[in-house]
Amino acid sequence: MELTLHVLGSSAATPTRERNLSSIAMRYRNKILLFDCGEDFQRRFVEAGLKFNKPLIILISHFHGDHIIGLPGFLFRLSLNDRKAPITIVGPKNLFLYLYLHKKILGLKANYPIKIIEIDHISKKLIEFSGLDSEVPKNQSKIQENIIYSSKYFLIKYTLVDHSVITYAYAFIENPRFGKFEPEKAKALGIPESHLWKKLQEGEIIEHQGKKIDPVKEEIVGPKRPGRKVTYSGDLCPSKSLIELGKDSDIIIHEATFAKNLKDIAQEKKHSTSVDAANDAKNMNAKQLILTHISSRYQEDASILLEEAKQIFPNTILAKDLLRITLN
C-alpha cells in the first residue's frame, strides 16, 4: 500500500521565492495526513496534485504563525467545495478557540464533518469538539500510551518537545502488514478475482463455497512484517522525548533551521541545527532523515545544512517544496 510524502512548505518563519512555510502532506490509503499548515500551503496542495475531497487528518505541532496561519484559509476553501469527507484536526489547547473565532468574525463554516481534538498534555486528556458551533466539548478521554488517534491500519502518537511554546511532535505508526500476496495460490484454491482477494491481501479469513480459508495458513500471503513509521518533529531544540517517539522510524522529518556555526542562536530560539537533526536521526535509529524548516538566510544555497548532517547521518535529504518521497 502506497505511502507518499509531499513537501508543501520547507521554510522557517518567512516564505522565500522557492520555499513556502511549513507543511508536509502524507498520502496513505484513502486519506491525507497534513503535518502543519503554513500560510498559503493550499497553493502547494494543488501543485502537488493532492485531492481536496479526501478524508483528512491535520496535525498541528504548535501555535506559531508559520505553522498554523494556512489552516483557516484551507478550511474556507473546503467549504466552497461540495465536500462530504470528514476532517479531524489535532493540536494543542486553544485549537478550537482559534477556529471558532474565524467562524465568529469571518463566517468560517464547516459544511462537512469536522472534529477538533485538543491535546492537553498536563491532564493527559484529549478534548474533542464536534463541528464549529458548540463551545462545549463533545467528549473527553484519557490519553493512553501517547496514542491520540487509532484506526484499523495505523496509530498516531504524540510527544511534548522543547520549544518556546507548547509544541508536539507526531509519529504515524502503521500496524504490522501481511506479506506478499500470491494470486496464483488464490486461483488454485478456486477463489475468483473479486472483493475476496482484497480481504485475503489484508490477511482476513474468508468463507468460500462453505469453506473457511486462512490466507496465512494457505500461504496466499506471507507472514506479518512490521508497519512503516514516519515521525514529524515540529519546531524544537534537542529533546529526549523526540528520540523515544521516533525510535526506529523509516523517516524522520526534522527541523534544521540553522547550520552548526549558529548553534548559539538555535539554542536561544529553541530551534535545531543540521547537526542536532542528524544526531537525533542517528540516536533514534531512523532509516532516513529529511531536513526542513530552513531559515531564509540559506535561500541562495542551503547545501551546507545537508553536508553537515550527512557527516553524521549519511541517508539525509534536504527538503524542497514539492519534493515527493514514496515509502514502499
Nearer to Zn ion, 66 or 276 (CB): 66
Cα 119 to Cα 140: distance, rounded to the nearest angstrom: 10
Q: Does 19 bind Zn ion (CB under 5 A)?
A: no
Complex with Zn ion: residue 235 or 308, whichever CB lies closer = 235
Q: Which stretch binds Zn ion (CB under 5 A): 43-51, 74-82, 210-218, 231-239?
A: 231-239
Binding segment for Zn ion (CB under 5 A), chosen from 57-65, 132-140, 240-248, 306-314, is: 57-65
Q: What share of the chain is helix, strand, coil (3-state, %, to 5)?
A: 25, 30, 40
C-alpha count within 13 angstroms, C-beta hemisphere, residue 270 = 13
157 grid coordinates = 502518537
Residue at 183: amino acid letter? P
Taking the complex as a whole, how short is the minimal distance between the CB of residue 21 and Zn ion, in angstroms? 8
Active site residue: 36, 40, 66, 280, which one?
Answer: 66
Give yes or no: 66 in active site. yes
What's the CA gap between 126 and 105, in Å, rounded? 26
Minimum Å gap between C-beta 159 and Zn ion is 16
Residue 299 is classified by DSSP as: S
Query: Which region among 29-37, 90-98, 104-112, 234-242 touches Zn ion (by CB under 5 A)?
Result: 234-242
Would you count residue 36 as binding Zn ion (CB under 5 A)?
A: no
Pick left, alpha or beta for residue 83 (phi over 0 → left; psi -120 to 50 → alpha; otherwise beta). Answer: beta
Binding range to Zn ion, per CB under 5 A, among 91-99, 197-205, 235-243, 311-319: 235-243
CB nearer Zn ion, residue 235 or residue 280: 235
Nearer to Zn ion, 235 or 321 (CB): 235
Compute the least distance from the CB of residue 84 to Zn ion, in Å: 33
**Of the candidate residues 66, 118, 276, 280, the single one contacting Zn ion (CB under 5 A):** 66
Q: Which residue's entry shows cell 518537545?
A: 161
For residue 102, the SS3 value is: helix
Is-contact 20 43, C-beta < 8 A?
yes
User: Least Å distance between CB 67 and Zn ion?
Assistant: 6
CB of 168 vs Zn ion, minimal distance in Å: 12
Instruction: Write the binding mask 170 to 209 for Zn ion: x where contact by CB under 5 A, - elsewhere.
Output: ----------------------------------------
Minimum distance, C-beta of residue 53 to Zn ion, in the bound complex (Å): 29
Q: Where are the alpha helices (DSSP H) in the chain?
A: 41-47, 65-68, 70-80, 95-106, 183-188, 195-201, 240-245, 263-269, 274-283, 303-312
Indicate which single residue of 36, 40, 174, 235 sits in contact with Zn ion (rule: CB under 5 A).
235
d(CA 308, CA 91): 32
User: For Zn ion, how many residues bind (rule: CB under 5 A)?
Assistant: 3
Please give the angle made by the CA atoms of 162, 63 and 250, to the nearest 5 degrees. 55
What CA–CA distance (Å, rounded) separates 39 from 283? 32
Q: Judged by CB under 5 A, does residue 64 bind Zn ion? A: yes
**Segment contacting Zn ion by CB under 5 A, of 75-83, 96-104, 149-157, 232-240:** 232-240
Place of cell 504515524: 172
Of 83 and 254, the one with the shorter C-beta distance to Zn ion is 254
Kindly report the CA angle at 270 between 288 and 119, in degrees rounded to 5?
Answer: 75
Give contact residues for Zn ion (rule: CB under 5 A): 64, 66, 235
- Positions marked active-site: 66
